């Protein structure tokens, strides 16, 4: 009885939900990669321009701080509309998956920069100095010592960022980008198909659980103390 209901449900909605899951992955992964490419160097710059660090520069540090704080003060749903002209300028469209990547990156990259900053600040200053004393180049110290030692914290930080990002993709439906959140809202809420909403939510919950578990596991693997 129940089984036949389930089969009937997936016959009707399977394609929609599958497609939405793919869209969520697509939006999430592309935005994540670009956000890390922008956010990690920004995080490093935030650390290095601090007072007492190797590239100490209070102007750059101050500007970066302000910029990151401003972007982080704006809720994603507002940012999405605020950035419409900018998005159109960058990728030529402001709708669909392509159109949502820009606001997702603008939203996530500063967040990642902040998370990277705190992960990198945990690295013992003495280790950096020991490498400086060995005559090793600053860029090598950043990459082979600072980032390396911070890896477990970086992984955990990225896990948090990914989860935030998936939350933001739920709003992407508003510009027609689809995704699980959009399905839950459009079919579940607007068309009152409660089953669809529940299934979408369960999928989101499972997704988040899996991501958090992978993150914890990876961080534990990299952490050796």
Contacting residues toward another protein, per CB under 8 A: 124, 126-127, 129-137, 140, 144-145, 148-149, 151-152, 222-225
CB-nearer residue toward another protein: 38 or 136: 136
CB 35 within 8 A of CB 108: yes
Least distance to another protein from the beta carbon of 128, Å?
Answer: 9
Least distance to another protein from the beta carbon of 47, Å?
Answer: 18
Q: Report the alpha-carbon distance of residue 141 to residue 102 in Å, rounded.
A: 32
Least distance to another protein from the beta carbon of 160, Å?
Answer: 20
CB-nearer residue toward another protein: 134 or 190: 134
Least distance to another protein from the beta carbon of 157, Å?
Answer: 16
Least distance to another protein from the beta carbon of 53, Å?
Answer: 14
Largest interatomic CA distance in the chain: 73
CB-nearer residue toward another protein: 132 or 195: 132
CB-nearer residue toward another protein: 72 or 217: 217
CB-nearer residue toward another protein: 141 or 197: 141
């Amino acid at each position: 009885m129940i089984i036949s209901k389930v089969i009937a449900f997936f016959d009707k909605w399977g394609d929609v939900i599958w497609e939405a899951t793919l869209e969520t992955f697509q939006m999430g992964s592309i935005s994540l990669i670009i956000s890390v490419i922008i956010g990690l160097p920004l995080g490093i710059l935030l650390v290095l321009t601090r007072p007492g660090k190797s590239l100490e520069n209070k102007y750059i540090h101050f500007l970066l701080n302000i910029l990151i704080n401003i972007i982080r003060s704006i809720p994603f749903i507002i940012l999405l509309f605020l950035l419409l002209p900018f998005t159109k300028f960058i990728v030529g469209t402001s709708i669909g998956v392509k159109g949502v990547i820009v606001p997702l990156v603008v939203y996530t990259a500063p967040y990642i920069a902040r998370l990277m900053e705190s992960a990198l600040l945990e690295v013992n200053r003495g280790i950096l100095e020991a490498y400086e004393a060995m005559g090793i180049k600053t860029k090598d110290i950043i990459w082979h010592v600072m980032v390396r030692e911070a890896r477990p914290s970086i992984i955990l930080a990225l896990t948090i960022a990914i989860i935030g990002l998936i939350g933001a993709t739920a709003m992407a439906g508003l510009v027609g980008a689809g995704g699980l959140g959009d399905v839950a809202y459009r079919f579940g809420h607007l068309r009152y198909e409660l089953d669809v909403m529940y299934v979408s939510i369960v999928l989101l919950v499972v997704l988040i659980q899996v991501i958090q578990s992978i993150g914890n596991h990876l961080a534990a693997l990299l952490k050796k103390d």
